[in-house]
């Protein structure tokens, strides 16, 4: 055996050296990810910068009485949407939260929306007592055992 063959057949020292072509080898050019390393067919996504609606309209004060505007910033379940979803600046987001809470307190906005799997409220019959029972005229009292029913 020559000197070169003896060195390649001997086990590599574990001092941090890597063999060429092994599992730790560098990235191949033209592999499944292409030369750039990015998977083929993946489109790059650029997020559009959101602009604060209140800054554009130059609104300094967010009015709590304008429920039509405030309802755009509240989820169906009643949660206030975060800044990253709406694009509102930090200053206006603080004012928006205060305005939504004030509008909830005077019943312009709901505290919570309807939950997905809840039952519908019971229908209220007019004239029914608060206990939910039907009036006494609808169900006559049973006759005593010794008397015949009147016709």
Over the stretch 28-52, which tens digit does the pLDDT of each residue have?
A: 555 555 556 666 677 777 777 788 9
- Top pLDDT among 105 and 136 is at 105
> What pTM was estimated for this model as a whole?
0.47
Pair 79, 111: CB distance under 8 Å: no
72-87 burial: b if 16+ Cβ within 10 Å, else e? ebbeeeeebbebeebe
The structural domains of the chain, with segments of one domain joined by +, span 64-114
Q: What pLDDT sits at residue 66?
A: 92
Least confident window among 40-49, 60-69, 81-90: 40-49
Helix (H) or strand (E) holding 17: none
- Residue 34 zone, left/alpha/beta (φ > 0; ψ -120 to 50; rest): left
Q: What pLDDT sits at residue 127?
A: 77
Give me the chain's average pLDDT, please.
Answer: 74
Beta bridge partners, 80, equal: 74
Q: Using CA atoms, how far apart are residues 151 and 143, in angstroms rounded to an integer?
A: 12
Q: What is the residue whose two structure tokens read 């063959």?
A: 5
Is the pLDDT confidence value at 26 over 90? Answer: no
CATH of domain 64-114: 4.10.640.10
Is the pLDDT confidence value at 131 over 90? Answer: no
Query: What is the average per-residue pLDDT within 73-85?
Result: 92
Q: What is the residue whose two structure tokens read 């191949």?
A: 28
- Top pLDDT among 128 and 51 is at 51
- Top pLDDT among 130 and 95 is at 95
Q: What pLDDT sits at residue 42?
A: 73
Is the pLDDT confidence value at 56 over 60? Answer: yes
Is the pLDDT confidence value at 73 over 80? Answer: yes
């Amino acid at each position: 055996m020559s000197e070169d063959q003896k060195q390649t057949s001997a086990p590599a020292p574990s001092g941090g050296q890597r063999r060429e072509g092994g599992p730790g080898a560098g990235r191949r050019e033209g592999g499944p990810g292409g030369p750039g390393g990015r998977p083929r067919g993946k489109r790059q996504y650029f997020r559009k910068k959101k602009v604060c609606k209140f800054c554009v309209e130059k609104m300094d004060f967010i009015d709590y009485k304008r429920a039509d505007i405030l309802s755009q910033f509240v989820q169906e379940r009643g949660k206030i949407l975060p800044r990253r979803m709406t694009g509102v600046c930090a200053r206006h987001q603080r004012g928006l939260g205060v305005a939504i809470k004030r509008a909830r307190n005077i019943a312009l906005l709901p505290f919570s929306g309807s939950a997905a799997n809840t039952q519908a409220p019971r229908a209220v019959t007019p004239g029914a007592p608060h206990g939910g029972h039907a009036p006494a005229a609808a169900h006559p009292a049973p006759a005593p055992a010794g008397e015949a029913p009147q016709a």
